[in-house]
Structure 1
């Protein structure tokens, strides 16, 4: 009897530490470092690798929910749903007002958290690239050439101004709570990313002095002063080494010189481009190996840091330490966002969806819009105009009659007002307002968009090239299908696909027109049931 009692006592005693250990990564009162190490000790290598991709699936056995990295918020949250929309980043830079910039970013992060809360802490958000706690923002690359298509995303050509505005934006997104991150801010694209033409393969040769004097300072400020929780690498190479796997850039400069503590994410599809664009390596396994060893923690995508990385591990190309290091950095951010906590101690879980598009947020957007206007020269005090002394006003320009928000833009909560509409609303009925759009293209062609489709377009997306089966359907304002240069769109089926747009066409003025359709694959164009263009079988 005595022996039996002692044996049971020993078994109970031995079980106690195991029960306690199971709770460490879930225990909100334990240090983050200990929680992460405890969680890593419980994960299989396959589960660790699943944390290193943009569309990270859940791990049910450990109560880890899915997490989809990669929303955008350069001047307002892009998706899902409607939000407050601000002027483009280049406009925000022209306010020269970092305090206002931080207010703008605070509104953005408030609305992001509010929608996340509305979606039951993300549980009801199912679309890829649409979770609301990680943003690929801000863009602090130097805008050296006005022909660069990403210039509106930036804060201009001055490294100091870009750094000041970038830091204010990072702080506004990430919040000021000593324990929790409000949002993960991701300054991009590190480094020397300044052109679109051949951005997947370009290889600028830039001296270290030029890099540290001009191309790096804005990033350095975002890391050192802004405490950015993430950094995104650039597609291009730098001095013959692609940024995606550039160990000097990621380990020496970022982590050693600047003491960066967050995680490094690739530009979307960057690791795959090491094989098919840069041709720096021959296999995705090699791309995975060199990237993770150079300090790339997370893939924006779900291609290389998936089966190829696991294959590299199984072939002893990648070590447990390589994977653990990347997983640690990614989990550190997710822990600080509160994704493993109950939410009772996290102030950001209390933000109400009612703040989205609120009057207060609209006022911040109005302040930003007013301050970003740059009046170059008001000769002879021509402005403001006196409507009582005018008989007519000509409003000239292709964008005057529509609201052009630019790239990476969300949909506004409030109804937008165009320049043309604003002028008409401002002047009395005695002043005639005439709209005169122009054709800017050398061939005289005018883009069919916006007001040309008064009822919008029915867009049908098929998961095959033959317009067969049941499509995914939504309403769109115009035809602009260019996924390679647009934000990731979770609505689109995976390629190969086919699309049909249908709607009513209204020309700007009556007359004779020539239709032209540009695509890199087959296309057909019908008008009133009559086929005008038939190039389905080839490129045009």
Structure 2
């Protein structure tokens, strides 16, 4: 007992002795910069090293990623970013990302999500063969800049302006639009660009909390070691030293801890609005309605022969509808290259059958072929179904085996197997084929567009 009391006295005296060194808060709350400087100044060099290496223990509130499958089991699922770009509706982008940040906070309050999200992808979709173009809003620089601004605002700002809601991350900074193309991969690609091409909207206008340097080099300098790009353009300051010294480590830590303080990591949860969000704020009816609206706004009608669309239910009574192709029953592939757990997935076949249920409408489905497989053995079943149908809807496109991270295409043409099937179906159908393309990047649809 005597030893325990003595130990407690030592601790109390030690803490009391340091109290005079704490910053003066009487004149009002300290800024994030002041709090960071004080925190880093109290760390030993060994403690500093543990926080800057890649093997540092994860800080739960800051670590990226979401753990699905618990309670709540899923989050609201929204269309891919290429869809949002096609909508040209930045109000949608802002409201969608506001929902995402709200649900992220709710997951974080259950210790099942971090608050640092690796988005937006700020690169321009210059070449439709790039596998990750689906993660961008498209090829237009102005549209991309407006989209980036709306997205960052929706993620980082909210009901409580005192704190960041979550942190966005401009990636991959910069000039990244190649995965693996004819012998050159993203780790060895050297982008030759001018200063005008460098992305600034995300950093200087939207005030994004973090950036991720790209895999490639820029004008022969690796992006992550490009002092002009990272220091002058991103941080507007230069390193004074050519070697790493303790003040360089301090500065690196200050960038990290500054974000943590702005997220509210060091403050009492009771005083923070975002820390009160719960599973009741996840996948709400309003969020589902927003998801549907954004999907509808992103659909592009390329051609409408004789105004045959839209199809009205009453006019389909006693008719037979043929649904053909593998993307007609696509589920996960509809979500693109990156996605979490959706509360539900409704593929086109399921949706059309649900809409026509209880009516005298015959809806039948066959695959016909696979997206990447040259096997034509399913053609006969598709041809017979099309021959007997009043309406034929063919669902084509691409999937992640053809486009995605680390996978570039070498052509923008429609897969040969799909064109072959279309040629065969055209010989037997009673009316024009309705073609629906589901893909994350552009395809040359010239034949489909000019075909009667």
- The normalised TM-score by structure 2 is 0.72
Alignment of 1:241 onto 2:213? no
2:106 paired residue number: 114
Secondary structure of the residue that 2:322 maps to in structure 1? strand
2:63 paired residue number: 69
Provide the C-alpha distance between the structure 1 equivalents of 2:44 and 2:376, rounded to a whole number of angstroms.
58
Provide the C-alpha distance between the structure 1 equivalents of 2:79 and 2:246, rounded to a whole number of angstroms.
45
1:228 paired residue number: 208
2:29 paired residue number: 29
> Pairwise mapping of residues 116-135 of structure 1 onto structure 2 (< 5 A)?
116-119=108-111, 125=112, 131-135=113-117
Tell me by how many angstroms 1:47 deviates: 2.2
User: Does the 8 Å contact 2:75/2:341 carry over to 1?
Assistant: yes
Secondary structure of the residue that 1:189 maps to in structure 2? strand
Alignment of 1:190 onto 2:173? yes
User: Does the 8 Å contact 2:145/2:202 carry over to 1?
Assistant: yes
Alignment of 1:181 onto 2:174? no
Provide the C-alpha distance between the structure 2 equivalents of 1:70 and 1:141, rounded to a whole number of angstroms.
21
- Spell out, residue by residue over 1:433-492, the C-alpha distance to the aligned partner (whole angstroms, 9 max, x if none): 22232223364399xxxxxxxxxxxxxxxxxxxxxxxxxxxxxxxx99xx9959xxxxxx
User: Does the 8 Å contact 2:104/2:115 carry over to 1?
Assistant: yes
> Pairwise mapping of residues 1-40 of structure 1 onto structure 2 (< 5 A)?
18-22=18-22, 29-40=29-40
Secondary structure of the residue that 2:309 maps to in structure 1? coil
- Spell out, residue by residue over 1:198-223, the C-alpha distance to the aligned partner (whole angstroms, 9 max, x if none): 011111222x2xx41xx43xx31122
- Spell out, residue by residue over 1:259-285, the C-alpha distance to the aligned partner (whole angstroms, 9 max, x if none): 8xxxxxxxxxxxxxxxxxxxxxxxxxx
Alignment of 1:101 onto 2:93? yes
Provide the C-alpha distance between the structure 2 equivalents of 1:343 and 1:107, rounded to a whole number of angstroms.
21
- Spell out, residue by residue over 1:34-55, the C-alpha distance to the aligned partner (whole angstroms, 9 max, x if none): 2111111111223223323566
Provide the C-alpha distance between the structure 2 equivalents of 1:54 and 1:132, rounded to a whole number of angstroms.
17
Tell me by how many angstroms 1:341 deviates: 0.8
Structure 1 unaligned runs (5+)?
1-11, 59-64, 120-124, 126-130, 260-291, 296-315, 447-478, 487-540
Tell me by how many angstroms 1:226 deviates: 1.3
- Cα separation, partners in 2 of 1:163 and 1:55, compared to 1, 3 Å: farther
- Cα separation, partners in 2 of 1:56 and 1:108, compared to 1, 3 Å: farther
What is the Cα-based RMSD across aligned positions, in Å? 3.3
- Spell out, residue by residue over 1:51-81, the C-alpha distance to the aligned partner (whole angstroms, 9 max, x if none): 23566427xxxxxx55553338xxxx98985
Tell me by how many angstroms 1:366 deviates: 1.1
Q: Greater RCO between the two (CA within 8 Å, min separation 6)?
A: 2
User: Does the 8 Å contact 2:132/2:405 carry over to 1?
Assistant: no
User: Does the 8 Å contact 1:142/1:156 carry over to 2?
Assistant: yes
- The normalised TM-score by structure 1 is 0.60
Tell me by how many angstroms 1:389 deviates: 3.5
- Cα separation, partners in 2 of 1:24 and 1:395, compared to 1, 3 Å: farther
Provide the C-alpha distance between the structure 2 equivalents of 1:79 and 1:484, rounded to a whole number of angstroms.
25
1:434 paired residue number: 364
1:421 paired residue number: 350
Provide the C-alpha distance between the structure 2 equivalents of 1:343 and 1:139, rounded to a whole number of angstroms.
31
- Spell out, residue by residue over 1:224-251, the C-alpha distance to the aligned partner (whole angstroms, 9 max, x if none): 2211111111000011111011111111
Equivalent residue in structure 2 for 1:253, among 230, 233, 249? 233
Secondary structure of the residue that 2:211 maps to in structure 1? strand
- Cα separation, partners in 2 of 1:15 and 1:238, compared to 1, 3 Å: closer
Equivalent residue in structure 1 for 2:312, among 386, 392, 402? 386
